[in-house]
């Protein structure tokens, strides 16, 4: 299940309903723990951050099998959308191997929501008609990213972008991306701690370091970054609303009335 990025209100209605029915919740480090308050469920932290894995992926997957064999309703709660670099396929294949029934509950992906909340739509008529989402997290033995050749109407969104910025910026230049093409780093997106730094391809590494940015962070590369000056008013960090649990709703009419 995807919890959405940052703000706990970005979880889907389906996700919220399923979460209320869970016997066990295995949750990641990017999940806002306010979503877990008052749940009648066993909570198991299995968070993984760059260079700090609380629990190996193999152990997480086996925990899903273990709890399922105990007859429990298990929620594997991930930030953003679970299928976007969330290891969903690996976990689901293991469940399928044992004939364990499961449901994938989509979430709002940080790849599009976090830039939007920073005043950067990833597509815009006349500027960008394509989006490429990449993981910037690399293994030491495989530093090459799947960066496409430059096209002025394509927006790149690099998730987990901060730790490897000195690796992917030269790769952008080598694939024809202009040195002065805008780049925006968005850290702690969709939270009250959100920070945005706008720079260029050639200055990205130096400016990210100078700003003292921290994880989680993504980078948006492309001409749409130039829209931020006019759209930044949509950033929600200045007037963040207090989170409250949504009440249980059962009918279409009740959903429409919210």
Options 7, 32, 38, 48, the catalytic residue: 48
Active site residue 7: no
Residues 6+ apart with CB under 8 A from 128: 122, 153, 154, 155, 222, 223, 224
Active site residue 28: yes
Measured distance CA(134)–CA(160) in Å, rounded: 9
Residue 217: strand pairing partners: 187
CB count within 10 Å of CB 247 equals 7
Collapsing DSSP to helix, strand or coil, 151 comes out as coil
6, 191 contact by CB (below 8 A): yes
Listing DSSP states for 162-225 in one string gives STTHHHHHHHHHHTT--TT-EEEEEESTTSTT-EEEEEETTTHHHHHHHTT--SSEEEEESGGG
Strands (E), the chain: 24-27, 42-45, 48-49, 52-53, 74-77, 130-135, 154-159, 182-187, 195-200, 217-221
Options 7, 28, 32, 81, the catalytic residue: 28
118, 189 contact by CB (below 8 A): yes
| H or E stretch at 242 | none
CA 219 to chain centre: 12
117, 89 contact by CB (below 8 A): no
Catalytic positions: 28, 48
């Amino acid at each position: 299940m995807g919890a959405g990025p940052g703000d706990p209100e970005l979880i889907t209605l389906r996700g919220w309903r399923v979460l209320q029915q869970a016997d066990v919740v295995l949750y990641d480090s990017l999940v806002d723990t306010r979503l877990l308050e008052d749940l009648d469920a066993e909570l198991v932290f299995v968070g993984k951050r760059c260079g700090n894995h609380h629990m190996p992926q193999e152990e997480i997957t086996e925990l899903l099998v273990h709890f399922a064999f105990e007859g429990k309703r298990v929620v594997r709660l991930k930030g953003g959308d679970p299928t976007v670099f969330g290891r969903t396929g690996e976990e689901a294949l293991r469940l399928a191997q044992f004939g364990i029934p499961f449901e994938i509950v989509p979430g709002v992906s940080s790849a599009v929501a976090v830039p939007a909340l920073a005043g950067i739509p990833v597509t815009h008529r006349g500027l960008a008609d394509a989006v490429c989402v990449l993981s910037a997290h690399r293994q030491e033995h495989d530093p090459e990213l799947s960066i496409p050749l430059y096209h002025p109407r394509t927006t790149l969104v690099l998730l987990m972008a901060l730790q490897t910025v000195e690796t992917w910026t030269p790769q952008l230049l080598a694939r024809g991306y202009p040195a002065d093409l805008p780049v925006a780093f968005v850290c702690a997106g969709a939270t009250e701690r959100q920070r945005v730094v706008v720079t260029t391809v050639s200055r990205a590494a130096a400016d990210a370091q100078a700003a003292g940015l921290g994880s989680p962070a993504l980078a948006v590369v492309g001409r749409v970054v130039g829209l931020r000056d006019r759209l930044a008013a949509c950033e929600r960090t200045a007037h963040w609303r207090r989170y409250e649990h949504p009440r249980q709703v059962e009918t279409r009419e009740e959903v429409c009335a919210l």
